[in-house]
Amino acid sequence: MQVTPSYDLCLKTVLADPKSKDADLTGLALIVVDAVKVKGINTINYIKGLENSRPDLKTVLDYCADVYNTSVTVDVPLAVTALSEGNPKFGEDGIVDVTVESQACESTFGQYGQRSPMTSVNQDMEDLANVARAMIRMLL
Amino acid sequence: MHMNLLDMNTFFFRSTFPLILLTLFHNIMTSSSDLENPLAASYAPLPDGELPAGNNPTIRRPRKAALFLVVSAFLVLALVALIAGNGPVLRKELNTEVAPPSTTSTPEKVTPLSRGVEKGVSEKSFRPLLGADNSYPWSSNMLDWQRTAFHFQPKKNWMNDPNGPVFYKGWYHLFYQYHPDAPVWGKIVWGHAVSKDLINWRHLPIAMETDQWYDEQGVWTGSATILPDGQLVVLYTGSTNESVQVQNLAYPADPSDPLLIKWVKYPGNPVLVPPPGIDTKDFRDPTTAWKTPEGKWRITIGSKINKTGISLVYDTEDFKTFELLDGLLHAVPGTGMWECVDFYPVSKQNENGLDTSVDGPGVKHVVKASMDDDRNDYYAIGTYDAHKGKWTPDNPTLDVGIGLRYDYGIYYASKTFYDQSKQRRVLWSWIKETDTEASDINKGWASLMGVPRTIVLDKKTQSNIIQWPVEEINRLRTNMTVFKNIVVEAGSIVPLSIPAASQLDIVAEFEIDEKTVNRLNGDDVGYDCVKNGGAAERGALGPFGFSVLATEGLKEHTPVYFYVAKGVDGNLQTFFCADQARSSTANDVDKSIYGSIVPVLKGEKLSMRILVDHSIVESFAQEGRTCITSRVYPTKTINNNARLFLFNNATATKVTASINVWQMNSAHI
C-alpha cells in the first residue's frame, strides 16, 4: 500500500537500513528521519565544496549552509525527540521546516539574480523530508 | 484622469523622484471637490503624526479623487510617504487591477513560495534586506520587533499548551508547557506566572519538573479543579520514562500561599494508566472535574480508536482512585486523536459564565477538542446527560472536529477556566510561530498565548459561542483616533493617519451600499477565504477592510477583510478573512489565507475588531462570532515603518466605515 509520496524513494530509504526488518511504524519513521539527517550533512559538505569552485555564489551558499545546518542540528533532533516521546506532531513541524529551509535555499539564488547550482540537491531533500512527514502523520 | 501604468511603475520604483511630479499629483488630489457626507463637525486635518493630547478624536474629512493603484507597482503610496512628511495624508482612490499572483496559492505550510514578485519588477531588482548585522535574511532588528507587547510569553525559549488556568486567592494563575533549554519543543516542564488582571504578569519559578519516572519524558498538559472547600487539585499527563502517557495528581505544597510557588506530586502516582484498548500514546490532557448527580467528580480525557476521536470518562471521589465509565462522553469518526479536550456549561439566557459543575434546564454544554491531525481547535454545542455521562451535539453535521472552530487562524490546545471572581468563563490558547525554527533559534523564543477571551453562548443565533478579548485589555488603550463615516469608493484605499501601527486596537463598523446590493444579480460561484485569491481577488461586494502591518507602498501588508457574496436567491453571505500572502517579503514564513463565513443577522452592521501586537494579529467579526489569529513576520514593516490602511477592493459597492483606533500600551510581562 503506497501512502507516502515518492514511493520508490521511501522504499529505497527504508530498505537501506537493516533495522527496518523489525521496526514498527515509529521505527520506520525514525529511519527516514535519520536519512534526512545524513542527506543534510552530505549537502552541507557539498555546499562547502561549491564555495570553493563558485565564489560568486558565496552569499547564498553561506545562507544555504546555515539553513541546512538548522535542519540537521535542530529540526531532525526535534523530530527524533517527538517520535520517541510519543508526541509526533512536533516532529511533523520539525520535518516540515526542513522542506521550508531547502525551498528557501533554492529561491534565494533567484532573489540574488543567480541560477541555483543546487536545484536537484534541494529537491532531493524536499522529497525525502516529505516522505518522512507522511510517515510521521501516520502516527498522529 | 489617467496616468499611464508603466509610468507609475518606473518612476515610483526609486523614491528619489523629483518634487515636480509630487506637486502635480498633490494638486490632482486637492483639486477634486467632490465631498460626500460632509460632516457635522469639521476639524482641520491634523499634520500627520500629531495628535492632540488626551482622548480628543481626530476627524478626517473624506475626499474623493481619481487615483490608481497598480498592483504590480504597489509603490503609489511611496508617494504618500513623500507627501505625508509635509502635510496631511490625503486619501486616494486606487484602481486595483486584478493581477493574478505569480505563483498559485499555497494553502499548505509545505510550499511557501515567494509572493513578492509582481509584474514589471523582476526578482533581480529585489535585493533582500540585509540587516545591520548582515545576517541574511533576518536581522536582529527584524527579529527583535517580533516580540509582542501585550501577549503572554516567557522571557525566552519554547512554550506550548496553557495548563491549569485558575483564579486562586486573588491571583490569576497560568501554567504552561515550557521547554527551558531551547526555543523548540523538547522535554517539557510546567512554567508558571501570576497576574491580578490577566494582562500584567509576574513570572514565577518552574512549578513542576520532570523529576519522577512517571513524568520523566515530560510534564504534559493538565487542568486544575477547585473543590467546594477551596482546595486546589491538579491532574496532568506525564510521559513516563518509557514514553507511556499516564495521569498524575499534584497539589500545592502550601495552599495558603496565594502564589502557589511549590507543588507536591502525589506519592501514589500515576493515578491513571491507559485502559485496555487504548494505545499508550493516545491518553492525555485530563480536564477540570465537575460534579455528578451522585456527588462524585467526573473528568474526561481525549483519545482515539483507529481514526475515531473519542473522549473517555472517569469518575472519582478523591482524585486518587478512578472508575472508567463504560460509555464515552462522545466520539466522532474520522477526526483522529482528540487532544486537550474541554467540557463546560454555558448559560442559555444569561451573559455570565458558569462554574464547570453547573447543570440544569437553562444550560447547554460545549465539548471542545484539539484535532491532532489538522492542528485546529473545534467545538460543538449540545446537551449533556449527567446520569449517562454522555453528550449529544445539537447539530450532528457540526459535530466536534467537523464543524465550528474557535478560531480560523493559528489557535491550538486551548483551555477554559471559570473565573469565579468575575463570573466569567475565560479561554486561553497556544499560538505557535509560523516562521522557521531557524528564526526561532535566532530570536531565542517561540510561541505566545492569545489574549484571553470570555466565552458566552451567542443568544441571537443559539448555535455558536461568542469570544471576546477580556475587558481588562481595554485598559491598555490610549491615544484614540476616530474616523467617522469615511466613504471608500469601490477600488480605493485610504491611509489612516495614526501615531504608530505596531500596537493597535481597532474597532470598526462597515456598511455596504444597499442600492448596489439590490440591483446586483447574485451568483452561486461560492467563496472560500482559504482557497480564493485573498484581498486581491475582487468581487462586487468585497473584499473591504483594513491592511495592518503595512508599509507605505504596500510592499508588505496584511489585509483583514469582509467579503460579501450575493446568491441567486438574493441572500447575502459574509466571509471574514485574514490574508498573509503579502504579509512579508521573506520567503520562509507561512503566507496562508485564513477565515470563514460569519453569521450576520438582519439589521446588524458589519463590525470587526483587530488587535495588532507586532508579530500577532487577532481579528474578531460580529462581536466575536468568528475569530482569526495570524502570525506576521515582516522584514520592512517594522518599528516606525508600520502603517494602517482602510481599503475597499470591491468592484461595485462603496463602503462606509466608522473607526476607532487606539494605540496599545505595553503590558508588564
Contact of B19 with chain A, judged by CB distance below 8 Å, is answered with no
The C-alpha atoms of residue B495 and residue B267 are separated, in whole angstroms, by 62
CATH number for the domain whose boundaries are A7-137? 1.20.140.40
pLDDT tens, residue by residue, B277-294: 999 999 999 999 999 999
Task: Give the pairing of strands B465-469 and B453-457.
Answer: antiparallel
pLDDT tens, residue by residue, A57-98: 999 999 999 999 999 999 999 999 999 888 999 999 999 999
Find where cell 451573559 sits. B351
Contact of A116 with chain B, judged by CB distance below 8 Å, is answered with no
B657 or B76: which carries more pLDDT confidence? B657
Contact of B130 with chain A, judged by CB distance below 8 Å, is answered with no
Q: Do A85 and B588 touch (CB under 8 A)?
A: no
Can you give the pLDDT at residue B97? 34
Can you give the pLDDT at residue B72? 43
B574 or B79: which carries more pLDDT confidence? B574
| C-alpha distances out from residue B22 to A86, B27, B66, Å | 62, 9, 15
| C-alpha distances out from residue A73 to A34, A70, A83, B72, B184, Å | 12, 5, 16, 39, 12
Report the SS3 class of residue B183. coil
Q: Output the nine-digit C-alpha cell for B321.
A: 482512585
B162 or B87: which carries more pLDDT confidence? B162
The C-alpha atoms of residue A128 and residue A131 are separated, in whole angstroms, by 5
Inform me whether the pLDDT recorded for B26 exceeds 70. no
Rounded to 5 degrees, what are φ and ψ at B650? -75, 160
- Judge whether B251 and B235 are in contact, CB under 8 Å: no
Inform me whether the pLDDT recorded for B259 exceeds 80. yes
Radius of gyration of chain B (CA): 26
- What is the side-by-side strand order in the sheet with B390-393? B338-347, B363-371, B376-385, B390-393
> Which among B243, B432, B588 is the nearest to A100, CB-wise?
B588
The DSSP code sequence of B47-72 is: PTT---STTPPP-PPP--------TT
> Residues 176..205 of B with a Cβ closer than 8 Å to A: which?
184-187
Rounded to 5 degrees, what are φ and ψ at B82? -70, -40
Q: What is the DSSP letter of A106?
A: H
Residue B49: pLDDT band with limits 50, 70, 90: very low
Can you give the pLDDT at residue B525? 87
Q: What is the dihedral of CA A69, A73, A74, A78, to 10 degrees?
A: 140
> Which among A94, A99, A108 is the nearest to B437, CB-wise?
A94
Distance of CA B528 to the CA centre of its chain: 18
Q: What is the DSSP letter of B669?
A: -
Inform me whether the pLDDT recorded for B91 exceeds 70. no
Inform me whether the pLDDT recorded for B18 exceeds 90. no
Query: Which residue, among A97, A112, A122, would best test binding to B if mutated, counting the most B CBs under 10 Å from its CB?
Result: A97
For each of the domains in chain B, give its residue range(s) and CATH number, in order of start: 33-66+472-664 (2.60.120.560)
Inform me whether the pLDDT recorded for B335 exceeds 70. yes
Q: Which helix (H) or strand (E) holds A79?
A: helix A76-85
Q: What is the DSSP letter of A73?
A: I
* pLDDT (mean) for B472-486: 97
Rounded to 5 degrees, what are φ and ψ at B68? -135, 130
The C-alpha atoms of residue A94 and residue A79 are separated, in whole angstroms, by 6
The pTM score is 0.84
Inform me whether the pLDDT recorded for B60 exceeds 90. no
Which residues, in sequence order, are bridge partners of residue B69?
Answer: none
* pLDDT (mean) for B77-82: 40
Contact of A1 with chain B, judged by CB distance below 8 Å, is answered with no
Contact of A111 with chain B, judged by CB distance below 8 Å, is answered with yes
Residue B261: pLDDT band with limits 50, 70, 90: very high
Can you give the pLDDT at residue B64? 44
Inform me whether the pLDDT recorded for B171 exceeds 60. yes
- Judge whether B550 and B500 are in contact, CB under 8 Å: no
Inform me whether the pLDDT recorded for B33 exceeds 70. no
Find where cell 529585489 sits. B126
Inform me whether the pLDDT recorded for B46 exceeds 80. no
Beta-carbon contacts of A120 under 8 Å, excluding residues fewer than 6 positions away, are none
Q: Do A81 and B218 touch (CB under 8 A)?
A: no
Name the percent of chain B lying above pLDDT 70.
Answer: 80
Q: By mean pLDDT, which of A12-16, B129-133, B293-297, B405-409 is the weakest?
A: B129-133
The C-alpha atoms of residue B22 and residue B82 are separated, in whole angstroms, by 8
Q: Domain limits of chain A?
A: 7-137
A6 or B17: which carries more pLDDT confidence? A6
Q: How far is A53 from chain B (nearest CA, A)?
A: 22
The C-alpha atoms of residue A43 and residue A45 are separated, in whole angstroms, by 5
Q: Output the nine-digit C-alpha cell for B604.
A: 446588524
Can you give the pLDDT at residue B136? 60
pLDDT tens, residue by residue, A23-68: 999 999 999 999 999 999 999 999 999 999 999 999 999 999 999 9
Q: For residue A18, is the peptide bond before it cis, meaning its omega torsion is within 30 degrees of 0?
A: no
Q: How crowded is residue B521: how many other Cβ atoms within 10 Å of its Cβ?
A: 8
Contact of A123 with chain B, judged by CB distance below 8 Å, is answered with no
Q: For residue B137, is the peptide bond before it cis, meaning its omega torsion is within 30 degrees of 0?
A: yes
Name the percent of chain B lying above pLDDT 90.
Answer: 78
| Cα torsion angle, B338, B339, B343, B347, sign | negative
Q: Output the nine-digit C-alpha cell for B303.
A: 483519545
pLDDT tens, residue by residue, B517-569: 999 999 988 899 999 999 999 999 999 999 999 999 999 999 999 999 999 99
B252 or B53: which carries more pLDDT confidence? B252
The C-alpha atoms of residue B176 and residue B188 are separated, in whole angstroms, by 9
pLDDT tens, residue by residue, B448-466: 999 999 999 999 999 999 9
Closest CA to B220 of B270, B269, B163, B265: B163
Return the residue of A nearest to B435 by Cα: A97
Can you give the pLDDT at residue A3? 74
Average pLDDT for chain A: 93
Query: Catalytic residue numbers of B?
Result: 161
The C-alpha atoms of residue B29 and residue B328 are separated, in whole angstroms, by 67
Can you give the pLDDT at residue A2? 66
- What is the side-by-side strand order in the sheet with B263-265? B218-226, B232-239, B245-252, B263-265
Q: What angle (nearest 5°) sits at the alpha carbon of residue B538, between those of residues B537 and B543?
A: 95
* pLDDT (mean) for B3-17: 38
Q: How crowded is residue B315: how many other Cβ atoms within 10 Å of its Cβ?
A: 17
Can you give the pLDDT at residue A1? 59
Average pLDDT for chain B: 85
Contact of A70 with chain B, judged by CB distance below 8 Å, is answered with yes
- Judge whether B469 and B612 are in contact, CB under 8 Å: no
Inform me whether the pLDDT recorded for B657 exceeds 80. yes
pLDDT tens, residue by residue, B214-242: 999 999 999 999 999 999 999 999 999 99
Q: By mean pLDDT, which of B39-48, B71-80, B248-257 is the weakest?
A: B39-48
| Helical segments of B309-453, H only | 437-443
Per the document, the length of chain B is 669
Q: Output the nine-digit C-alpha cell for B666.
A: 505595553
Which residues, in sequence order, are bridge partners of residue B630?
Answer: B617
Residue B325: pLDDT band with limits 50, 70, 90: very high
Q: Sort out which chain A residues have CB atoms less than 8 A from B371's CB and list them.
A: none
Inform me whether the pLDDT recorded for B606 exceeds 80. yes
pLDDT tens, residue by residue, B190-212: 999 999 999 999 999 999 999 99
- Judge whether B539 and B523 are in contact, CB under 8 Å: no
Which conformational region is residue B291 in: left (phi greater than 0), alpha (psi within -120 to 50 degrees), or beta?
beta
Report the SS3 class of residue A130. helix
Q: Do A140 and B123 touch (CB under 8 A)?
A: no
